[in-house]
């Protein structure tokens, strides 16, 4: 005897990894999914099914009710999302891993209302940092903007403007800067990998992002003018535009660093103008060395140097700290860092020498008098 279906088409499964009930169904031959909730809210599978049936999520959306989230996502990615590869990767990741599982499929965009979205983003606080939740919030706001731009919904104030992600601008981990002594100890451990050692020197000497350093070609280096033109960036071996317009300004290069570049060019197999400066021999020069390979060698060298592991962006933070330590004016620092906004420059780096103690000693000399300063120096 054929069993009569008790529930709507599809299946409800508990995902032990995420600790969430999930609803799976097929739509036009494609498998779809949606997160229902955890066991605190739906203790049994029957309760999860009741939530699905009460929501009528498995039924086709009424076209007159408005666009679905999935259709808005497709239109947004096609027409309005950033074409820059690394930015697009981040947007796609947030849509695929968070937005579509919760709000996608045939769910209507109109379901993305401030209170439900606020509660959902708050519930993600256990697994995501405020900054990551802020990025998801940005994507939701862009989806609403695109739907209004496309004429799919009336042009009104964006509902996502009522959603607040507290602490999104605060870093969970404080950026690290290396002292000059730590950097030199780190370089000593890279002696057996000259190409990675040179990458570290260039990033620390010029404050380059790793994506910019890997994309450098010999034509970008003007030895006569002592300048370096940063034109492109490489992320996951895909060449793309640099992060901002300010990043493209020519950079002055010191004569000592020019000598390092020319010495490397003499020994490199790939020294034609269009060749990558840090060309990978395994790719016959068609691509630079890969970021994962650079990162792995960085970690191993940092361990051997006994300075603790750090990311490649630490060298950019260190560069800004060293500029501060030698008394470089902040306006000059902004230009050298190639930041559009000076506030971004101020958020980089940290005190990495005895600057604080030295500054306090000078203030004490002013407030307590010359004799105190003399006594302090004698100690």
Domain-embedded: residue 191: yes
Beta strands (DSSP E) in 106-228 are 221-222, 227-228
Q: Are residues 52 and 65 in the same domain?
A: no
Give per-residue pLDDT as tens, 105-144. 667 888 899 999 999 999 998 888 888 999 999 999 999 9
Q: Are residues 211 and 332 in the same domain?
A: yes
Tell me which residue of 173, 255, 186 sits closest to 221, measured CA to CA: 255
Domain-embedded: residue 241: yes
What sign has the CA pseudo-torsion 173, 238, 83, 336?
positive
Q: Are residues 78 and 197 in the same domain?
A: no
Count H helices and E strands in the chain, helices first.
16, 8
DSSP single-letter state for residue 208: -
- In angstroms, rounded to a whole number, what is the distance separating the alpha carbons of residues 99 and 81? 15
Q: Are residues 234 and 131 in the same domain?
A: no
Mean pLDDT of 358-362: 58
Mean pLDDT of 328-343: 79
Tokens of residue 378, six digits: 């004698």
Domain-embedded: residue 31: no
DSSP single-letter state for residue 174: P
- In angstroms, rounded to a whole number, what is the distance separating the alpha carbons of residues 337 and 335? 5
Assign 300 a pLDDT band (cuts: 50, 70, 90). very high
Q: Are residues 329 and 188 in the same domain?
A: yes
Domain total for the chain?
3
Tell me which residue of 84, 126, 97 sits closest to 245, measured CA to CA: 84
Phi, psi of 35 (to 5 degrees): -80, 130
Arithmetic mean of pLDDT over the chain: 80
Domain-embedded: residue 304: yes
Q: Are residues 321 and 190 in the same domain?
A: yes
Q: Are residues 327 and 215 in the same domain?
A: yes
Identify the pLDDT of residue 121: 93
DSSP single-letter state for residue 60: P
Report the share of the chain in percent with pLDDT over 70. Answer: 80
Tokens of residue 183, six digits: 């950097």
Q: Are residues 79 and 212 in the same domain?
A: no
Mean pLDDT of 221-250: 76
- In angstroms, rounded to a whole number, what is the distance separating the alpha carbons of residues 233 and 332? 23
Identify the pLDDT of residue 85: 75
CATH of the domain at 97: 1.10.150
C-alpha pair distances (Å), 183 with each of 180, 337, 350: 5, 19, 15
pLDDT at 21 over 70: yes
Give per-residue pLDDT as tens, 141-199. 999 999 999 888 899 999 999 999 988 766 666 778 888 899 899 999 998 999 999 99
What value does the CA radius of gyration of the chain take, rounded to a whole number of Å? 27
Domain-embedded: residue 378: no
Give per-residue pLDDT as tens, 27-57. 656 677 878 888 888 889 888 887 776 654 4
Q: How far is it between the farthest Cα atoms of the chain?
A: 103
**Packing angle between helix 85-94 and helix 130-149, nearest 10 degrees?**
100
Neighbours of 355 (CB within 10 A): 13
Identify the pLDDT of residue 2: 39
Q: Are residues 75 and 203 in the same domain?
A: no
Identify the pLDDT of residue 246: 57
Contacts of 270 by beta carbon, 8 Å cutoff, 6+ apart: 276, 279, 285
Query: By the 8 A CB rule, do 349 and 321 touch?
Result: yes
pLDDT: which is higher, 233 or 112: 112
16-53 burial, b for 16+ CB within 10 Å, e for fewer?
Answer: eeeebbbbebeeeeeebbbbbbbeeebeeeeebbebbe
CATH of the domain at 301: 1.10.443.10
Query: By the 8 A CB rule, do 176 and 349 touch?
Result: no
Query: By the 8 A CB rule, do 142 and 76 touch?
Result: yes
Tokens of residue 62, six digits: 């009424």
Query: By the 8 A CB rule, do 91 and 139 touch?
Result: yes
Identify the pLDDT of residue 270: 87
Q: Are residues 137 and 250 in the same domain?
A: no
Tokens of residue 266, six digits: 């003499």
- Which residue range(s) make up the domain with 186? 180-346
**Packing angle between helix 330-337 and helix 314-325, nearest 10 degrees?**
150
Q: Are residues 52 and 4 in the same domain?
A: yes
Helix (H) or strand (E) holding 31: strand 30-37
């Amino acid at each position: 005897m054929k069993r009569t279906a008790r529930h709507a088409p599809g299946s409800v499964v508990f995902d032990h990894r995420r600790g969430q009930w999930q609803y799976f169904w097929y739509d036009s031959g494609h498998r779809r999914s949606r997160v229902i909730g955890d066991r605190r809210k739906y203790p049994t599978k029957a309760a999860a099914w009741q939530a699905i049936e009460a929501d009528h999520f498995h039924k086709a959306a009424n076209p007159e009710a408005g666009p679905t989230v999935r259709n808005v996502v497709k239109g947004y990615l096609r027409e309005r999302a950033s074409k820059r590869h690394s930015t697009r990767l981040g947007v796609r990741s947030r849509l695929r891993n968070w937005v579509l599982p919760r709000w996608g499929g045939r769910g209507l965009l109109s379901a993305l209302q401030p209170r439900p979205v606020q509660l959902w983003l708050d519930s993600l606080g256990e697994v995501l940092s405020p900054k990551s939740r802020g990025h998801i919030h940005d994507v939701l706001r862009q989806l609403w903007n695109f739907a209004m731009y496309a004429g799919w919904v009336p042009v009104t104030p964006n509902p996502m403007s009522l959603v607040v992600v507290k602490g999104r601008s605060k870093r969970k981990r404080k950026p690290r800067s290396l002292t000059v002594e730590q950097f030199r100890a780190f370089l000593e451990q890279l002696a057996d990998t000259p190409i990675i050692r040179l990458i570290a020197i260039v990033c620390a000497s010029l404050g380059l992002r790793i994506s910019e350093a890997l994309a450098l070609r010999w034509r970008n280096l003007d030895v006569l003018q002592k300048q370096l033109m940063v034109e492109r960036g490489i992320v996951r071996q895909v060449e793309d535009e640099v992060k901002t317009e300010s990043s493209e300004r020519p950079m002055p290069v010191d004569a000592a660093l020019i000598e390092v570049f020319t010495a490397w060019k003499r020994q490199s197999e790939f020294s034609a103008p269009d060749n990558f400066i840090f060309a990978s021999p395994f790719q016959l020069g068609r691509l630079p060395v890969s970021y994962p390979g650079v990162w792995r060698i960085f970690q191993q060298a940092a361990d051997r140097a006994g300075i603790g592991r750090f990311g490649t962006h630490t060298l950019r933070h260190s560069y800004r700290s060293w500029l501060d330590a030698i008394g470089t004016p902040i306006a000059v620092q902004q230009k050298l860092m190639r930041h559009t906004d000076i506030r971004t420059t101020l958020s980089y780096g940290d005190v990495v020498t005895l600057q604080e103690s030295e500054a306090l000693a000078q203030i004490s000399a002013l407030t307590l008098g010359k004799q105190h300063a003399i006594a302090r120096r004698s100690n």
